[in-house]
Amino acid sequence: MNSLPKPQDNRPEDPAEEGTPSGRRGRPRVLMANEPRAYREGIAAVISQLRPAVEVETVEPHALDDSILRYAPDMVICSKATETLKVRVKVWVELYPENGAISVANIGGRRMEYTEIQLPDLLSIVDKAGELAKTN
């Protein structure tokens, strides 16, 4: 028998609840699909630690559109905003698109540009996504 502790997982206990907005019990969901992978995983780990009530999923950027349909996220952090993202997600951040110096955020239809986006900026946007999710 394996007595190692199970790693913390922010997913619902009932697999039937995964991927359905109603199954989240009010927990905001953030989908990470940015490059490079180490950056994506590092940001996801920090958000999970500093915002434990938030579900964080990481996916490869090429899987962004399918993952939006599957997870119904409240927020997406990506390297390139797609049409599916713009239509289906109210809060998103495009980190340094096309390796540029500016990151772009959309918060409920309001576009904001960040010259050098920092972790506190991302956490603030995560919090706003959570607030918007509660009102829907």
pTM score of the predicted model:
0.81
All structural domains of the chain with their residue ranges:
27-135
Identify the residue whose tokens are 């995964």: 18
Q: Tell which CATH architecture fits domain 27-135.
A: 3-Layer(aba) Sandwich (3.40)
Per-residue CA distances from 113 to 19, 55, 58, 131 (Å): 30, 25, 23, 21
The pLDDT profile of the chain, 136 residues, written as one tens digit per residue, is 444 343 444 444 444 344 444 344 568 999 999 999 999 999 999 999 999 999 999 999 999 999 999 999 999 999 999 999 999 999 999 999 888 889 999 999 999 999 999 999 999 999 999 999 988 7
